[in-house]
Structure 1
Amino acid sequence: MPAGEPLVFPLGHAMGPFHQQRGAPPAYWVVRLGWDSPLLPDRATADVWALAHGVPDRVASTPWTRTELCRAAREAGVEDPAAVLDALLARGLAAEVAPGTEAAAEFTGTHRVQSLLLGLGELPDRPDVDGIGLLGMPALAQVPLGTYEFWQWGHLWPTLTEAAAGLAEMAAQAPQHEPEEADPVRVLDRLLRDLHRLLSVGAVYLDRSLAVADAQR
């Protein structure tokens, strides 16, 4: 990706389309964010917001930035995805975050992760890789242990920053661990760069912290 280009994250949990009458196309799409239920007013907005989660077969090797999102959206038929993304950013339904910056610290201190789907544990044919998905089906996400532990435990902390600190503290208690595993700053950086692997398959969603949600209520 271009140097310094931030990652793009969607905010909120999809509640699905609303049809005003049976057989009619969706009138709008609903997102739950904090205590609010903002609406996505048209298909282009809904598509760009959905694609901000990432495309599963791309995010493992490609940082999910504005460039990649707009490329995927144009492939999906959205005519001006950059303008649509700008509108989502202005409404607080998406965020551009460059890991390691002050803006990233503000974002991770005011947002949290919420986990979805089921843990499938270590995959029998791939040691040290854990699956996330639905019982009786192939794993939707196949991730290393650190990412799996973030999915498993991250929702217990009120913010992403605190989740990284908690996971680093847990790692430090292991008799054998790598230095970066016990460094909250490096853990947070890794979590941000891994998030789309979970977002793209619906294994997590990002929400406002409760403190922020309550203040905006």
Structure 2
Amino acid sequence: MNTGDVATAGRGAPGGLLLPVGHYLGAVYPGPGEPLAHHRLRIGDSVVRLFSEEEFGLWVLAHGLPGRPVDQPWTPSALAESVRRRDRRDVTPLLHELLAEGALAVVTPGTEEAVAFARAHRFRSLLTGLGISPDDPGRFLLGLIGQPLAVVDEPTYELWQWAPLHGNIWDVCRALVEIDAEPGGRPGDPHLVLGDVLGGLQALLANSAGYLDEARS
């Protein structure tokens, strides 16, 4: 199997966006001086265990690379090629394992599968909003007090700010079109903004500004 086929193992078709799912809870060691037992991810009410550093490293890399141009979406093929160039390893089997465990998802904008993913997942924000960048008024800062860690555009900052108020990503899309509607007019189509929202989520995940979780009931 070539790396371009990896995307078909997830919820999307080839070329879909790669999205990590889960909140990292840390590494588990059975006792002093003993080797790693596993890493833990919380997804909803469940805990997923990653039993090797290779699995955990791939889940971390699935978040994307900070500073990656927004017109270069992070896909399974892009990740696999990045590892192949750096380490000369084929991570296709590990990608499939993480997809099967639900720790990764592949989402193709413009499909009904993307809507299903949006209904089934929510975004939880991390870091602190630090406001407008003094060096670029069109950009916004996220990080710790006195320590900016990420610079994002205004739509991504708004997504980071408001997404946690909604039970799932699809409700975020519905809220965005209602906000943008003309007074007294009909809201737009949330399907049309879902692609932008998924791209914004990739940017936030790459900068450790939040995580994806199962949707609230």
Distance of aligned partners of 1:204 and 1:34 in 2 relative to their CA distance in 1, 3 Å threshold: same
Equivalent residue number for residue 8 of structure 2: none
Once residues 159 and 31 of structure 1 are traced to their aligned partners in structure 2, the CA distance between those partners, rounded to angstroms, is 19
Aligned ranges 1:20-169 → 2 under 5 Å: 20-58=30-68, 60-74=70-84, 77=87, 79-137=89-147, 139-169=148-178
Q: Deviations over 1:28-86 (max 9, x none)?
A: 10000000111001011101111111111325342100111112334564833111010
User: How far has the Cα of 1:20 moved from its partner?
Assistant: 2.0
Q: Is the 8 A contact 1:122 1:129 kept in 2?
A: yes
* TM-score, normalisation: structure 2: 0.85
Q: Is the 8 A contact 1:44 1:78 kept in 2?
A: no
* TM-score, normalisation: structure 1: 0.85
Give yes or no for the alignment of 1:17 onto 2:45.
no
Equivalent residue number for residue 197 of structure 1: 203
Equivalent residue number for residue 10 of structure 2: none
Distance of aligned partners of 1:25 and 1:126 in 2 relative to their CA distance in 1, 3 Å threshold: farther
Q: Is the 8 A contact 1:150 1:167 kept in 2?
A: no
Once residues 18 and 204 of structure 1 are traced to their aligned partners in structure 2, the CA distance between those partners, rounded to angstroms, is 22
Q: Deviations over 1:166-217 (max 9, x none)?
A: 122223368xxxxxx9652232210111222100121011111123xxxxxx
Q: Is the 8 A contact 2:70 2:199 kept in 1?
A: no
Once residues 19 and 185 of structure 1 are traced to their aligned partners in structure 2, the CA distance between those partners, rounded to angstroms, is 45
Once residues 84 and 30 of structure 1 are traced to their aligned partners in structure 2, the CA distance between those partners, rounded to angstroms, is 16
Q: Is the 8 A contact 1:59 1:197 kept in 2?
A: no
Q: Give the length in aligned residue pairs.
A: 203
1:195 alignment partner AA: L
Distance of aligned partners of 1:145 and 1:82 in 2 relative to their CA distance in 1, 3 Å threshold: same
One of 204, 209, 212 as aligned partner of 2:215: 209
- What is the aligned-residue identity percentage? 38
1:207 alignment partner AA: D
Q: What stretches of structure 2 of length at least 5 have no aligned partner?
A: 5-12
2:73 alignment partner AA: P
2:139 alignment partner AA: V
Once residues 187 and 26 of structure 1 are traced to their aligned partners in structure 2, the CA distance between those partners, rounded to angstroms, is 42
Report the 3-state secondary structure (helix = DSSP H, G, I; strand = E; otherwise coil) of the residue aligned with 1:150. helix
- 4+ residue segments displaced more than 6 Å: none
Equivalent residue number for residue 6 of structure 1: 16
Q: Is the 8 A contact 1:141 1:197 kept in 2?
A: no
Equivalent residue number for residue 170 of structure 1: 179
Distance of aligned partners of 1:45 and 1:78 in 2 relative to their CA distance in 1, 3 Å threshold: farther
Equivalent residue number for residue 177 of structure 1: none
Q: Is the 8 A contact 2:29 2:36 kept in 1?
A: yes
Once residues 152 and 32 of structure 1 are traced to their aligned partners in structure 2, the CA distance between those partners, rounded to angstroms, is 22
Distance of aligned partners of 1:45 and 1:75 in 2 relative to their CA distance in 1, 3 Å threshold: farther
